[in-house]
Amino acid sequence: MADPQKLIIGVDFGTTFSGIAYCDYTGAKEGMRGIQVFDAWPGGQRTGTNEKTPSRLWYHPENEVRYGNQITSRCKGEIHSCMKLKLDNGTSALASELARLNFEDQEHSTRDVLELCSDYLRAVYSTVSKELLKQYSKALLTSLRKEYVVTVPAVWSERAKSLTLQAVRNAGIAEEEGETVSLVIEPEAAAVYALKEAIENANKVDIEVGSVFTLCDAGGGTVDLISYRITQIDPVLRFEEAVVGTGDKCGATFVNAEFLKWLKAWISPRTFNKIPRFETQYGSKLMNSFEMSMRGFGHEQDDEYTVQLPSKYCPQEDPELQIEDFSLTLNEDQMKQIFDPVVKRILDLVGGQIEAIQEAGLAGPKMVLVVGGFGSNCYLYDQIRLYCDQLGIGTRKPKHPWSAVARGAVCRGIEGVNDRSITSRLARYCYGTSSSPIWDASKHHKDDYYLDDCDGRERANGQMRWLVMKGERLPDVEPRTMTIKLFRYLRATERAVCAGVLYSYPENDPPARKAGNVALKQVCRIEGNLTSLPLSSFERRTTARTGEFFWIVPFTLRATFSNAGITWQCLYKGQEKGSVTVDYDV
């Protein structure tokens, strides 16, 4: 980082926990050691470490906002959690799963989701700002140009990215002149941190040009895997995405679900069913005590794990059930029964990513890097290590696996635009648009036929034109662009605006036509506006049927694919003209 007046702040807004990391010019010169993680969260330490705070929100009747560990059993009414998931339609299935796992209010019946996310981030930002003032002083902090790097899931839609940025800005973040905010995907941020930290900690011998590394980011709701190939080590570390990343809903909260399933069988369904939902939901004494035991599971010195049962509904003493004074003691084998169904799903993901690397003609990964809150768990890490040992693949857990994403976001900010570690990514979807080409009976479906009123030509409606294919390499420094060319037949009383729709498809073999393909998703509607140009700028013609005058207005909508998402421009005769409006609620 060359700017001594800059402060980089990484924001990891997570499904179940959120974290903040930061670094100034002096810290950047110290490398990974110079990145600081905020740990002065209010409400006390509940989870064994204060690197993060729970992503929970509660509104006092007088509109006072409490978040994270400020929320106690005395907070009555709706407690909002997992708000982030509602920003993306694609994660609604995960939100439903978490609701089933006894997380608090998932429907957020009394509040708009964007409002919830903004209020949560505002509360977090307020806490962090007050502590930064103590560290830097008001004069110095005001003089520093703040650059915020916000992390988002790898599968986040363009709509969700846009809403995330809106929530950040609504929270009052990056509202001062000169302040900026950008996005980076979570596993990419974690990979930047993990690889740089490995190099700085005398593990450079393990990293060489051409080596492939797989990152396993095991969080609260999801587990994401992404693989990179090293393209340069000195003077700057650089790597590119090797194969398309994968992921699944098998994070730590699903271990919670397995625990509740096991507990129901252990103490009997009859006893378990007497326990009210609030006593088994996320944040309850029961689940907090299990999570503390869960975090310790796998340490060699631990062989017993204690869980605090709800005293009103469970027996106080029962030696056969291993209950003493309402405390249930689980042994190692019982913990394995709870963990193993989820661990197996994660190992399947690791195996699938390794197989994809080999199918791409690359040497198998040299190492699997394990990060994330669930990735911090010793038992999960040991199972991944044993699995990889059988394949001759190394494993490594960085020094700070739980805060790796927030630290990596700061790394991304320190790098700057021209020195980024990630040189290219792979498209996770096919992207294209619908067109109406001249009718060809030999290749077009009869249901798509229509006669154009303006030019009198036979055309085929809804034919897909694919512009980016899944797995296509998208460079970072010189981003990939694509264009959608549209023609608007404009009458004298109409405005020179024209809209196109961008579609995505999740597989490698996208359809030729729009009709009847449920997997085809609308990403956004893009409207180009050329009303600033006079009608005389366009070609004038007459309709074939009535002889009425109309103008042919050619629009070119250009999309640029970058880590931050897709940005759009409206072109006319190769030059940027007019304006563009993008609507993700299509």
The two beta strands, 56-59 and 212-218, are unpaired
- Would you kindly state where each structural domain of the chain is located, as residue ranges? 6-186, 202-398, 427-583
Contact present, 427 and 241 (Cβ < 8 Å): no
Q: Angle 103-170-52 (CA atoms, 0-180°, nearest 5)? A: 45
CA nearest neighbour of 219 among 251, 188, 247, 258: 251
CA nearest neighbour of 147 among 105, 169, 178: 178
CA nearest neighbour of 193 among 52, 32, 33: 32
* CATH homologous superfamily of 6-186: ATPase, nucleotide binding domain (3.30.420.40)
* 567 CB-contact burial (10 Å; exposed 0-12 / middle 13-18 / buried 19+): middle
Joined together, the tokens standing for residue 117 give 């996310």
Domains 6-186 and 427-583 share a fold: no
Contact present, 515 and 560 (Cβ < 8 Å): no
The two beta strands, 539-542 and 180-185, are unpaired
Joined together, the tokens standing for residue 88 give 């993306």
Joined together, the tokens standing for residue 252 give 């730590």
* pLDDT block averages, 10 residues each, the chain of length 586: 83 94 90 93 72 92 87 81 82 61 56 92 96 91 93 87 94 90 92 89 72 94 92 87 90 92 95 90 87 87 87 91 94 96 97 95 93 94 97 93 96 79 89 92 93 85 94 85 83 84 93 90 91 84 76 86 82 87 83
Contacts of 299 (CB under 8 A, 6+ apart): 378
Contact present, 162 and 565 (Cβ < 8 Å): yes
Joined together, the tokens standing for residue 384 give 């991944």
Helix or strand run (H / E) with residue 21:
strand 17-24
Q: Is the peptide bond before 401 cis (omega within 30 degrees of 0)?
A: no
**Contacts by 515-519 with C-beta closer than 8 Å and gap 24+?**
515/445, 515/447, 515/448, 515/462
Calpha distance 323→316 (Å, rounded) = 7
pTM (predicted TM-score): 0.86
The dihedral of CA 407, 149, 118, 21: what is its sign? Answer: positive
Burial 419-435 (b: 16+ CB within 10 A, else e): ebbbbbbbbbbbbbbbb
> What confidence score (pLDDT) does residue 330 get?
95
Calpha distance 351→365 (Å, rounded) = 11
Q: Radius of gyration over alpha carbons of the chain, in Å?
A: 27
Q: Which fold has domain 202-398?
A: Nucleotidyltransferase; domain 5 (3.30.420)
Contact present, 78 and 105 (Cβ < 8 Å): yes
Contacts of 457 (CB under 8 A, 6+ apart): 438, 439, 451
Half-sphere exposure of 429 toward its Cβ, with a 13 Å CA cutoff?
Answer: 20
Q: Which fold has domain 427-583?
A: Substrate Binding Domain Of DNAk; Chain A, domain 1 (2.60.34)
DSSP of 68-130 = GGG--TT--S-EEE-GGGGG-GGGHHHHHHHHHTT-S-SS-TTS-HHHHHHHHHHHHHHHHHH
Q: Is the peptide bond before 511 cis (omega within 30 degrees of 0)?
A: no
> What confidence score (pLDDT) does residue 48 get?
59
Calpha distance 442→434 (Å, rounded) = 19
How many other C-beta atoms are found inside a 10 Å radius of the C-beta of residue 142? Answer: 11
CA distances, 188 to each of 198, 270, 356, 410 (Å): 15, 46, 18, 12
Helix or strand run (H / E) with residue 229:
strand 223-232
> What confidence score (pLDDT) does residue 102 get?
54
CA nearest neighbour of 401 among 191, 155, 128: 191
Listed in sequence order, the DSSP H helices in 172-327 are: 186-200, 252-267, 269-272, 285-296
